[in-house]
Amino acid sequence: MLALLRIAKLVVFISSSLFVISLLPTHSVHSQDASPSGSNLGPITVRAHDTDNDAGGSVTVEWDDPGYEKMSGFAGFLIWRTNTLTGTSDSVEVTPFGTHSYDDRSVSDDSTYSYLVAALVNSERVMSAPSMQVRSAKQWFDSRLTWVLILGLIICGAVIYFIESAKRGTKLFLRRIAGLEAIDEAVGRATEMGRPILFVAGIQDMDDVQTIAGLTILGSIARTVAEYDTKINMPVRASLVMTAARETIKHAYVTAGRPDAYNDDMVHYVTDEQFGFVAAVDGIMVRERPAACFFLGAFFAESLIMAETGNSIGAIQVAGTAMPAQLPFFVAACDYTLIGEELFAASAYLSGEPRQLGSLKGADVGKAIAMIVILVGVIATTIASAWNSESMLWIENLLRKMFSTG
Amino acid sequence: MDSAIIGTWLAALLTLGIMSFLYKDNLYYKICEAIFIGISAGLWFITYFWDSLYRIAWIGVVHEGRYVLLGGVVLGVMMLMRLFGKIGWIARWPLAFIVGATAGLKMMVYFTTNAMAQIHGTVNDTMAAFGGSGLYDVVGRIVILIGTVTGLVYFYFSKEHKGLFGGVAKVGTWFLMITFGASFGYTVMSRMSLLLGRIDFLLTDWLKLVK
Amino acid sequence: MKRQIPMLILSAVGTLLVVSVFIPSARHWQEDASLYFDIIAVFAFFLGGGNLIRVHTEKVNRKSTGWIYSVVTLLGFGIMLVTGLFKIGNPNGIAGDLSQTGSYFQLLFQYVMSPLNSTMYALLAFYVASASYRAFRAKNTEATILLVAAFVILLGRTALGVLLTNWIPAQLSVLQIPNLAIWIMNAPNLAGQRAIMIGISLGVISMSLRLLLGIERSYLGGDN
Amino acid sequence: MGLIISAVVIGGGLLWILYLSIKGQDVDRRIVYLFVGATVALAIIFRLEFGEVATPIVKSVFDKIENLPAGSKIVLSYDFDPAMAPEVNPMANAFIRHILEKKHRLFFMSLWATGQSLLSVSLNDVLKPEFPDAKYGVDYCNLGYKAGNEGVLNVVITNFRKMFPSDANGNSLDSLPMFKDVESLKDMDLLISVGGGKPGVKEWVLFAGDPGKIATAGGSAAVSTPLLYPYWPRQLIGLLGGTKGAAEYEAELIKTHPRFKDKGMPALRMMGPQTMAHVVIIAFIVIGNVAYFRSRRKGKQS
């Protein structure tokens, strides 16, 4: 039965191919005198295969040009597709000069196809022989990302390993970060002066990790605030951040044993507009005169506007962001700045919890790998270019391949 | 009077109001600030309403039959439960969804575009800028190498910055300082052009002092 | 339960999205997740906007200091909502594009929002000046290095920089200030940027893992 | 007159601030603000312009065009959109003036769909009125926009006619005399891309200049300029960065070819106030440090 079906398919395929060829106003590829300008060109060879690393529904057609592009009157290559199950044929695309491959994204994974490519020269079509039958399929793994997976697993593995070993009681050493030690000092001073603290978790929404990092630090700060009974004022630019920040502060107050002192109004929505938000925060600063300002999260151009206003009212300012372009402004105008990675590490530091600290040690493994790769890479490329060393070139190419991300 | 003239006057008065903050907080600024907050919050709500709620959720589900988006609507409604004290805790579900999605997605994005691409770039661009074999190029390569590696040493958390390691980290901070100084210096000019635009508006479009 | 279920959602969603990067046919999950985010964000706005209205109405009711500004804010918010929801003045009616020329929404944007926005942005120029005057002082090694780098780049971007070092012969042309400025951008500046960016990505990875593993969960609130 | 007033106000003010700082008094930040505002306002009111001096990275582009023999073939690609235009359009116009003044042959094209209309504006407002003798097809031609980003470059580096069967007006390339000895980009003497995004200067370097060993220069918006610095001077013979770079080029142009003086040099005019503000900021940094060292010395003595 199955064999019969196959034979039937084959018959349909061959006959439909012949049908297509007979329909086209063309001459056999092999009859040389029939080529448009009488030149002596070989046949176009066509290969069709499933498109790599995709979700299915696409076939890649590739062909060699024996020289039709160079002929005057060349107008492009016509790609012709036959569905070998149904026998229907249609033209897919005419590709421009210089293109020798095409991804046909209009196929179904349930059918098989065969392709022809025709060179269009002076309204004539020089056909290739049909390609092998091909069926598109989806891949379960994007092979281009093999090195991403391997390196990612190594780093994540290191982080998880150190978290686990910290859980088992291994003592971990971490260096001090000046900006974090200043946080307690800043809250303490606000308490002494009887003035509020201002907290801004950046101007992005919850879909930015920096905002989440800011909120995790807010958790620690809010606990101190609750213990000291200081006032905290947190204007936000996005409603989701408002909801999340309220949960965070409330939790901190409960942990500190002061749930009654918590109030939803500590966090208030202002406006989603970047500079409208800045106008409001500036207003709050000069009117309420907070003793301490925290800017922890993702910031853009407003960083300096807020930090300079904070500076003008004499507040202690601690900032932290992973926006490289804004770091210089915070460094210039704030008392302490958490630079890049320090922002993400801060909450782990502040919590003092072993598992959290372990995760930082894991990230250090990643840094060690990066340093080694950069050292080896730059030295290898230098030697490779200066002395034409084969082995160094091999290392260079390996590294390029490992770290290329598509 | 046509609307353009009224508009220009309005724009000029608002511009001056915001600038008055530089002198000190005052009634004029407070009014401008209040207008700014009210109008902009409304503007964003309207934008969200038409772009997300109407175009994505309503058109997507009702007209295009993309029922997968209903999941978002359900999570969104859960968010609103915050308004009802007793079942307010259910609002944590959409929050958990968002934090999980952000963590998962951004982890991969940062890993490929920041870590891998930067390591790749260090090796590649170094050769673009300093690929030759003269003194200039050799010095350039060494500086990039030292700068990147010592900078990473600065961020190394699990070792005390003392002795040789501390010295290396110190060099790393110097490189970070050069980076900050350079970015600051480079952006000054573009910041000035913003102010230029505003003052030009006041003098030319509004007061017509400059032709 | 009130904490376990959210934790479960968080870990599951996060892990699925990490995995989806590697599976071609699962990549659309990422777009779906961002669409979900957009939809949730609108609903959340009802909370945020509600909060804005409540805070300002309360101020007005209690006649607390500055209540008159709250009236202005509420008015502005209301006007924008009405003109935007009903697309007042829009030549194409309710089906028209929100920012259609001539609609009241567009007029308010053009004559009220835009000048406020760009003026607030322009204040940066003043703050850059005051920060330069106050903060760029050679107090210690770090501050001196920052100062020198900024100074060379600043000079390199004015004619002064060219004129000051024109006399340096061509063999040493890298020492001419404009060239030196470019060299600083190319070598030490780039190196520093790279270290910061690589550090950031590792910080994000370790924080994301803390979140996905449920080690860090203060933002999910307590058990009540 | 304006220059004198400005110099007196600003110079006097700075000296006064210096005096206050040295005496150890804190200068109120509002005085700093007032100063910046006054500087910019004065510069706008009196339309102050300063002679820019070309930095080496700009000078090398200028010298290249200046020193090529007349009749050299130069491609100028408009790879930008209206948002970037205020910064980079002056560069493109300065290039047009310089290239045609030196009697080179100019081939216009664009890798950005939006570049096409900006290109026609330049042709109508600058080229045609200022060079009435320049003949289309002989001295310049417009190939127009082609979709395909850097793929376009991949093709034209071996063959122009395959990618551009005709120019933007529908004339076949063979009908244009200036194309007689042009087969591909490799026959060009200089490639210039003006743009600030992708595809832009970087793509011209990587897909045309570098593989074809053709001299390449560029102009880009200030934000993307640092990303292009690594290619100078090896793969890029020069680069104009932002309004500043454009102004330097304009200054160099009117220095060598004074007949353009009255053509209105927009970048130079825009730079006036910015340069003033820049100098004031540099002065502030210097004054700040003088004051700091004075106060430290005093601190040590007491």
B→D interface, C-beta within 8 Å: 19, 22-23, 125, 128-129, 131-132, 186, 188-190, 192-193, 195-196, 199-200, 203-204, 209-210
CA torsion through residues B103, B105, B108, B110, sign: negative
Q: Is the pLDDT of residue A36 over 60?
A: no
The answer on C119 and C158 residing in a single domain is no
How many CB pairs (< 8 A) connect A and B?
Answer: 170
Share of chain A above pLDDT 90, in %: 60
* B107, B117, B160 member nearest A405 (Cβ): B117
Please say whether the dihedral angle defined by the alpha carbons of residues A331, A334, A336 and A337, taken in this order, is positive or negative.
negative
Q: Do C179 and D56 touch (CB under 8 A)?
A: yes
Is 60 exceeded by the pLDDT of residue A33?
no
Calculate mean pLDDT across residues A145-153. Answer: 92
Split at pLDDT 50, 70, 90, the class of A31 is: very low
Write the pLDDT tens digit of every residue in A302-338: 999 999 999 999 999 999 999 988 999 999 999 999 9
Which of D36, D56, D244 has the CB atom closest to C173's CB atom? D56
C126: Cβ–Cβ under 8 A, 6 or more apart, which residues? B22, B195, D32, D33, D36, D37
Cβ C49–A269 below 8 Å, yes or no?
yes
Instruction: Look at residue A76 and tell me whether its pLDDT is greater than 60.
Output: yes
Query: What is the residue extent of each domain of chain A?
Result: 45-127, 146-159+356-403, 172-352
Residue D205 DSSP label: I
Phi first, then psi, for residue D184 (nearest 5°) are -145, -175
Print the domain residue range for C191.
Answer: 127-220
Question: For D56-264, which CATH superfamily applies?
Answer: MTH777-like (3.40.50.10160)
Containing domain of residue B156, as a range? 130-211
Mean pLDDT computed over every residue of chain A: 87
Q: Which of B123, B154, B159, B192 to mutate to test the interface with A (most CBs of A within 10 A)?
A: B123
The per-residue pLDDT for A405 is 67
The pLDDT of residue C126 is 95
Number of domains in chain B: 1
pTM of the model: 0.89
Q: Do A319 and A305 meet the contact criterion of CB atoms below 8 Å apart?
A: no
C interface mutation test: which of D18, D234, D248, D282 has the most C CBs within 10 A?
A: D282
Residue D5: predicted pLDDT = 86
Which chains does chain C touch, 3 or more C-beta pairs < 8 A?
Answer: A, B, D
Of A240, A287, A325, the CB nearest to B25: A287
Percentage of residues of chain B with pLDDT beyond 90: 59
> C172 — contact with chain B (CB < 8 Å)?
no
A347 pLDDT higher than 80: yes
Q: How far is Cα D83 from Cα A366, in angstroms, rounded to an integer?
A: 40
Q: A178 contacts in B (CB within 8 Å)?
A: none
At C218 the pLDDT is: 78
Cβ within 8 Å, pair C139-D51: no
Q: What's the pLDDT at A26? A: 41
How many Å lie between the alpha carbon of B169 and the closest alpha carbon of chain D? 26
Q: Determine the pLDDT at residue B210.
A: 78
Query: Is the sign of the CA dihedral C181, B122, A371, A181 positive or negative?
Result: positive
Give the Cα separation of A316 and A307 in Å (integer).
10
Question: What pLDDT sits at residue A5?
Answer: 58
Residues from chain C contacting residue D56 (CB–CB below 8 Å): 173, 176, 178-179
Structure tokens at A227: 């213990």
Q: Which residue of A has its CA nearest to C28?
A: A55
Domain ranges for chain D, please list them. Answer: 2-48+268-301, 56-264
pLDDT value for A254: 92
User: What pLDDT is attached to residue A14?
Assistant: 57
Averaged pLDDT in 10-residue chunks for chain D of 302 residues: 84 88 83 91 85 88 94 94 87 95 94 88 91 93 86 84 84 89 91 89 89 92 85 87 91 91 84 87 90 81 65
One-letter amino acid for residue B43 of the chain: L
Q: Taking 70 as the threshold, does the pLDDT of residue A12 lie above it? A: no
A246 to A126, A141, A269, B60, C48: CA distances (angstroms): 71, 41, 11, 32, 12
User: pLDDT tens, C82-103?
Assistant: 999 988 888 888 888 887 788 8
Residues whose CB is less than 8 angstroms from the CB of residue A146 and which lie 6 or more positions away in sequence, other chains included: none
Residue D154 Cα, gap to closest chain A Cα (Å): 8
List chain A residues with CB under 8 Å of C22: 141-142, 145, 148-149
- Look at chain C and report how many structural domains it folds into: 2
pLDDT bucket at A127, cuts 50 / 70 / 90: confident
Instruction: Determine the Cα–Cα distance for residues A369 and A381; give it in Å rounded to an integer.
Output: 18
Long-range Cβ contact pairs of C23-28 (< 8 A, separation 24 or more): C23/A140, C23/A141, C23/A142, C24/A53, C24/A54, C24/A55, C24/A56, C24/A138, C24/A139, C24/A142, C25/A55, C25/A56, C25/A138, C25/A139, C25/A140, C26/A55, C27/A55, C28/A55
Torsion angle defined by CA atoms of residues A393, A394, A395 and A401, in that order, rounded to the nearest 10 degrees: 110
User: Phi and psi at residue A140, in whole multiples of 5°?
Assistant: -90, -15
Q: Which of A69, A74, A312 sits opposite D29 (nearest CB)?
A: A312
Q: Kind of pairing, strands A197-200 and A101-104? A: unpaired
Which A residues in the span 10-49 are in contact with D, Cβ-Cβ below 8 Å? Answer: none
Region B10-16: mean pLDDT is: 96
Higher pLDDT, C222 or D53: D53
Do C160 and C74 have their domain in common? no
Which of D250, D285, D292, D293 would you mutate first to test chain C, the one with the most C CBs within 10 A? Answer: D285
- Please identify, among C81, C105, C124, the residue that sits at the C-terminal boundary of a domain: C124
Residue with tokens 């594009």: C97
Q: Going by CATH, does the domain composed of A45-127 fall within 2.60.40.10?
A: yes
Residues pairing with A126 in the sheet: A27, A119
The answer, yes or no, to whether residue B155 has pLDDT greater than 90, is yes
**Nearest by CB to B37, which of A206, A276, A328?**
A276
Mean pLDDT within B63-73: 91
The residue in chain B having the minimum alpha-carbon distance to the alpha carbon of residue D228 is B129
CB contact under 8 A, B196 and D235: no
Confidence grade of residue A204 (pLDDT, cut at 50, 70, 90): very high
CATH of the structural domain A172-352, one choice from 3.40.30, 3.40.50, 3.40.1350, 3.30.70:
3.40.50
> In the prediction, which pLDDT does A22 show?
46
Separation of first and last alpha carbons in chain A: 46
In this predicted structure, what is the pLDDT of residue B130? 76
Amino acid residing at A377: G
Can you tell me the mean pLDDT for C174-186?
89
If one compares B59 and A29, the residue with the highest pLDDT of the two is: B59
D285 touches chain C (CB under 8 A): yes
C117 with C198, same domain: the answer is no
Mark whether C43 and C20 lie in a shared domain: yes
Whether A390 shows a pLDDT value over 70: the answer reads yes
Quick one: C90 and C149 in the same domain?
no
Query: From the CA of A98, how many Å to the nearest CA of chain D?
Result: 6
Looking at chain A, the whole-number percentage of residues with pLDDT higher than 70 is 89
Mean pLDDT of chain C: 90
